[in-house]
Structure 1
């Protein structure tokens, strides 16, 4: 059973969702800064999310 939200909020419709680096069904969430890596030599990474995911930070992309 898929979870749904009011007005169909989903990462794919959020202004913080970036598909340029990952494709159409996966994307990067640009709401928070990149997450640091355990070995201090690697650069931080943006969280990967599914286009159908959603969270409490949703803002429509056209806003």
Structure 2
């Protein structure tokens, strides 16, 4: 079993992190499908995350 620390598993290093946001410190987590919105006219959105965040779904970016 490999133990990964939070720093090594940061969102910025994850293949599901989309840093298309205006800030280098923010991005979108593309692991799950978009979250639906209460209004039927509003499109779903992916969760915004910080590059230093981490979670249990981490997969490293392929080199």
What corresponds to 1:25 in structure 2? 25
The C-alpha deviation readout for 1:7-61, integer Å capped at 9, x for no partner, is 6110000000000134310000000000000011100001000000000000001
Residue 49 of structure 2 corresponds to residue 49 of structure 1: yes
Q: How many residues get paired?
A: 60
The alignment partner of 1:8 has SS state of coil
Larger helix share, 1 or 2: 1
User: Given the two structures, how large is their TM-score scaled by the length of structure 1?
Assistant: 0.84
Residue 37 of structure 2 corresponds to residue 37 of structure 1: yes
Which structure 1 residue ranges, 5 or more long, are not aligned?
none
Which structure 2 residue ranges, 5 or more long, are not aligned?
none
User: Given the two structures, how large is their TM-score scaled by the length of structure 2?
Assistant: 0.84
- 8 Å CA contact 2:6–2:54 kept in 1: the answer is no
User: How far did residue 62 of structure 1 move?
Assistant: 1.8
